[in-house]
Structure 1
Amino acid sequence: MDADCIAGNIAEVSERVRAAAEKVGRDPATVRLLAVSKTHPVEVVRAAAAAGQRDFGENYLQEAIDKIAATADLDLSWHFIGPIQSNKTRAIAGHFHWVHSVDRLKIARRLSEQRPPELPPLKVCLQVNISGEASKAGVEPDELPALAAAVAALPRLELHGLMAIPAPAEDEARQREPLARLAALFASLRETLPGLDTLSMGMSADLEAAIAEGATLVRIGTAIFGPRGT
């Protein structure tokens, strides 16, 4: 995909974000666009950056580290959004600005302990298994308050909010149901953790539903970069 096409796609997604936000009376500036560049080559990251995109999401650690190194001349913010294995925490803690997929205290502690002291605290979101799918990672909703309190107390992390990947649904009404549950959990947590500011939900197929339910960050891959690479 060439640079002009990627720039056009970013413009189209930005227009979808604007329209969805204004439809529910929100300021479009309150919704951040995360370009999910996993499986795509570094050239598309550079093309998106040239179009003004600054936040990029990756699932696969070594692929991401290679891209981060290859774009070190650019002022980009890198978000790890995939499942986290214990043996990968040191590299994640050392290379990323954000981690969206923390769902266990053990992982959070390792990220905190392994965050290099010369870097600012690592910004994290807690992943919630909002649809109750056995195949999905994420903390169970009833276990979320205890995990959030424990993670918020870790010295080298900054807890910013919640993330979820709901089960797919075809129509917007059904898409909104799990997103509304996540938004309610977020609102409840903010009663004791008022500094939380990030609700990471919504992808290419359901960004309108996510914005209607209060998403502050949408994770968009296909609508920007096309189908995943192999």
Structure 2
Amino acid sequence: MDTSIQAAIGSIRQQIAKAEQEFERGEGSVTLLAVSKTRPAEDIQAAFDAGQRCFGENYVDEAVKKIDQLAHLPIEWHCIGPLQSNKTRHVAGRFDWFHALDRLKIAERLNAQRPAELAPLNVCIQINLDDEASKSGIQPADAETFIASLQHLKRLKVRGLMVIPKPRDTFEAQRAALAHIRELQQRLSARFALDTLSMGMTDDMRAAIAEGSTMVRVGTAIFGARNYATP
């Protein structure tokens, strides 16, 4: 086992547990999603051996190869990056979660292509919190209408929201920004059965947990610097 990965996972889990206690969240209420994009299957195996079960991938072609390599392991696979129409069949058939839904066309394709023998695909709606042109996601004001438009797609299960906020320098600023997503989630939950808030990465994880995140996405702090030369 790669002991550095094992130690990193232990450290992150301790940080999560500390934040859960600090902000009066239930013990175990926050799931650690290990972001394994560009990492080899051996690193995922090492994390699995350390007790990690949920892994996030951005690049579908790369992910499918690793899913095949690790098919003998009971891993929960999450696609967390933007999705092109020509890749939907892979996500529908090979993943358990999709975190970046922001187009009805993609939703309809995922719904039609989800194999009947599998449970509905869990999806999160990506919200463009800071109105950044460089990022995917829908505007907060459009979230309710968009989720309503998905209700007839029975092979999808809308679980909640996902956000990638722009960096902020202080904990207070991070928390103030993420509070808007928490409030949006609460409003939407009055109409839809939402239970997931995919929010928080290494640098803003504590603020995200303070504001209700149920799933934090951590990559570099677990696996080290990414190697983009060999995705």
TM-score band, normalised by shorter chain: over 0.9
Question: Is 2:140 the partner of 1:137?
Answer: no
Query: Conserved in 2, the CA contact under 8 Å of 1:21 and 1:211?
Result: yes
Matching residue within 196, 199, 213 for 2:197: 199
Query: Conserved in 2, the CA contact under 8 Å of 1:17 and 1:28?
Result: no
Structure 1 runs of 4+ off > 4 angstroms?
none
Residue matched to 1:210: 208
Aligned-pair distance for 1:91?
A: 1.2
Query: Conserved in 2, the CA contact under 8 Å of 1:93 and 1:111?
Result: yes
Aligned-pair distance for 1:87?
A: 1.2
Q: In 2, Cα distance between the equivalents of 1:130 and 1:29?
A: 27
Residue matched to 1:77: 76
Residue matched to 1:64: 63
Query: Conserved in 2, the CA contact under 8 Å of 1:123 and 1:159?
Result: yes
Q: In 2, Cα distance between the equivalents of 1:178 and 1:139?
A: 16
Judge which range, 47-56 or 25-34, deviates more: 25-34
Residue matched to 1:164: 163
Query: Conserved in 2, the CA contact under 8 Å of 1:38 and 1:57?
Result: yes
Aligned-pair distance for 1:153?
A: 2.7
Residue matched to 2:219: 221
Residue matched to 2:92: 93
User: How many residues were matched structurally?
Assistant: 228
Residue matched to 1:116: 115
Query: Equivalent pairs: percent with the same residue?
Result: 50
Alpha-carbon deviations, 1:119-166, whole Å to 9, x = none?
Answer: 111000000001111111001111110111122331100110000000
Residue matched to 1:189: 188
Q: In 1, Cα distance between the equivalents of 2:227 and 2:16?
A: 25
Q: In 1, Cα distance between the equivalents of 2:152 and 2:158?
A: 9
Name the aligned partner's letter for residue 222 of structure 2: I
TM-score (norm 2): 0.97
Question: Is 2:32 the partner of 1:21?
Answer: no
Aligned to 1:64, the other structure's residue is in SS state helix
